[in-house]
Every structure is written in C-alpha cells, then in structure tokens.
Amino acid sequence: MPVVVQGYQAVERHHTIRKKGDLMRKAAKFASRARLSHFLVVLCALCVAAFGLSSACSADDLFVGSFNGSSSGVYEYNASTGAFIGTFGPSDSFPLGAAFGPTGTFYVSDSDLDSVLKFNGATSTFASVGDASGIVFGPSGNLFVVSSSDPGLLTVLNGTTGALVTTSDAGGILMDPEGITRGPDGNIYVAGGDGNNVLKFNGTTGAFISTLVASGSGGLTSARGVAFGPDGNLYVTSFGTAQVLRFNGTTGAFIDVFAGATGACSGLSLPRDLTFGPGGNLFVSSFGSGDVFEYNGSTGSCVSDFIPSGTGGLQGPTFLLFGTPGTGGSSVPEPSSLALLACALAGLALLKRRNSKLAQTAI
C-alpha cells in the first residue's frame, strides 16, 4: 500500500478516535447535568414539603372576644377545626378589639375599663383610652384605638410606650364607631357605627382623610366590623340588617351583599366583627346568636357554623383575630424560613460546584 494512503488512513483513524472521545465526554457531561437536575428537583420538593410541614405545625389560632357577664374575656380556638382550646389571659369585661404587636405581643381593649391591655407574660394596662374598642397597629408601629362613643374618637398611641401621639374626631362625624383595620395602602379605615359609613384616616399621622363609604350605601346600617379581602375590596358588617356588604376598596362604591343569614349560617344576627382566615375564607362573629360563622371567601356562600354558640362558654362574640402569640423580641426565624434558607444555600453551593466542573472540563 502506498505510503500516502497509509498516512491518510492513520489520520482518519485518529479523527475517528477523537470524535468518539468527544462524544463520550459529551454523553458523560449530559448524564452529570441530568443527575444534578434530578437532585435539584428532589431538593426543591423536600424544601416545599418542609415549608408546608412547618407552616402546618405553626398554624394560627383564632381568638374571639366574648361579652358574657362574669365570663367575659378572650377565648382561644383551633383555627382549622374550631375546637375550644381555652381562655386566653385574665377576664376582660368588654373586649371589643384586639391586635398583635410587631413582636407578637397580644393587645386587647376593655371598653368597660376604658383601657388597652397588654398580654406579655404578665398582664398590664398599656394605655387608658375612653370607651376603647377596635385597635390596630399602623405601618409605623403606632397603635390606633377607636373610642366607641358618640361623638367617637380615633386615638393614636406610641406603639412601644403607650404615650399619646394624637387624636382625631373626623370633624365630629364619628357616631359610636367600633371596627378598625389597616388597608393595603397603609391607611386606617374605621367602621363608623351609627353613622352607617366607613371613614379613612392617614396611617402615619392619624389625620382624617375622607368618608370612603357613604352613609347608608348599599343599605349599610350600623357599621361594626371592617376588613379588606384578598381581592382588595372592603367588607363591612351591617349590624342592623344581619349582612356582610362588599364595597370597592379604592372608591368605596357598593358592589353587593356578600353574605347573610343562609344555610348553616341562618342564625346570623347582629354581626359584629369579620376577618379573613389563613385559608382565605371569611369569618363573622354573630353577636346576637353567639356563633362564629364561616363563609366562602370568594363566593360568600355559607361554609359552616364554625364555632357554635356556647362552645367553651362563648356568648356574645365580639372581635375575631387569627394569629400566634409570641413572647416578644425573638429574632429566631420560623422553621419554614430556616428550611428555605437551607435550600437556597444548598442550591447555591451546587451551582458553584457545577460551574467549577464545567470550567475544568473546558480546559
């Protein structure tokens, strides 16, 4: 065989061997990436499971104010089943509002004693406010307290010391107001009671801004509770008509009668407070019947008599509040946060390792 042909065949064999080597390296690299992708998928699944498990383990409870003579106070229930857990804190003769502070401390009003109480291991009087009813913390950490009197008053307190910051009477148009909430815009909204309206206040200064829901709009009679829904709309209890009315959360325009006395919730009477639960459903305290009713948060249809009258001694339910009391000051993240942080760090380490291997392969 000529030398030239032999040389050509040798070159071809070399190229063929080199191509096979390249294909094998590419196949190995692909398999490595596939294994890494599979591992990351499994890791993410474990992270999601850990998040769900920790969230379930740290589920909120439902706290309900009860106006029941000598047994008045704060009652605690399982947020998933409605089962009675026990009384929370000492007796409170007329609890009309409650809120968790920035550090998890529980605050509750006592309208009979004209005060706001602080449950933090030992109970203490946080501040004295005449006819204290609904309370909520503002975006800057101050505590807003409604005085359920005629004319009514909105008092702003330093959220740490309880010292008076300012007051607002909205020009004297507050008439036995009660419920209060913080809106998505950071402002404060007050159910105007016998004014049959909802008023808007600056969430930082407490200054009166405007009447969001006009008096009697949609048949609103004695507005008691107020809450923003997941859809951004405003929900208000109409104490005199036993209904929950829905309004546009921006304009205040009436939308519809969202919920009422129907089905298992047919006993709804003198609805006082309302709040959306962790699962998105709406819960309403029925002061007249003694129940807490649950409604579908999207359709308004009755779901259940979530806490029947008399459960744990409940009578005359006032405020509703979902949450988990804390001892205050803890900076330890929840288990779910730790799980997600661990996942993020593990994923980052794996990505760095993969990039390093790719760089070595390229060389």
DSSP state, 263?
G
* Count of CB atoms situated within 10 Å of the CB of 294: 22
DSSP tally for the chain: helices H, then strands E? 2, 24
Q: Tell me the sheet residues that pair with 295.
A: 282, 302
pLDDT number for residue 333: 33
- Give kind and range of the element (H or E) at residue 296: none
Using N-to-C axis directions, what is the helix angle for 3-57 and 335-362, rounded to 10°? 170
How many CA atoms does the CB half-sphere of 178 hold within 13 Å?
Answer: 26
Taking only the tens of pLDDT, the chain with its 363 residues reads 554 445 445 445 555 555 555 545 554 554 455 454 444 433 444 343 433 333 333 458 999 999 988 889 999 999 999 999 999 988 899 999 999 999 899 999 999 999 999 997 678 899 999 999 999 999 999 999 999 999 999 999 999 999 999 999 999 999 999 999 999 999 999 999 999 999 999 999 999 999 999 999 999 999 999 999 999 999 999 999 999 999 999 999 999 999 999 999 999 999 999 999 999 999 999 999 999 999 999 999 999 999 999 999 999 999 999 999 873 322 223 333 333 444 444 444 444 555 554 444 444
Q: Rounded to an integer, what distance in angstroms lies between the CA atom of residue 176 and that of residue 148?
A: 5
Q: Prior bond to 102 cis, omega within 30? A: no
Q: Rounded to an integer, what distance in angstroms lies between the CA atom of residue 57 and that of residue 344?
A: 22
**Residues 66/316, Cβ–Cβ less than 8 Å:** yes
Q: Rounded to an integer, what distance in angstroms lies between the CA atom of residue 359 and that of residue 354?
A: 9
Q: DSSP 3-state assignment of 239?
A: coil
Q: Rounded to an integer, what distance in angstroms lies between the CA atom of residue 321 and that of residue 60?
A: 9
Q: Rounded to an integer, what distance in angstroms lies between the CA atom of residue 158 and that of residue 334?
A: 27
Backbone phi, then psi, for 186, in 5-degree steps? 90, -5
pLDDT number for residue 70: 84
- Give kind and range of the element (H or E) at residue 135: strand 132-137
Domain boundaries of the chain, sorted by first residue: 3-54+334-362, 61-323
Within 8 A by CB and 6+ apart from 282, the residues are 229, 235, 244, 258, 259, 274, 275, 276, 294, 295, 296, 297, 300
Considering only CA atoms, which of 179, 147, 180 is closest in space to residue 164? 147
Class of the 61-323 domain? mainly beta
pLDDT number for residue 91: 85
**Residues 320/311, Cβ–Cβ less than 8 Å:** no
Q: Are strands 208-213 and 223-228 parallel, antiparallel or unpaired?
A: unpaired
Q: Rounded to an integer, what distance in angstroms lies between the CA atom of residue 219 and that of residue 351?
A: 60
Alpha helices per DSSP H over the chain: 3-57, 335-362
Q: Are strands 208-213 and 271-276 parallel, antiparallel or unpaired?
A: unpaired
DSSP state, 111?
T
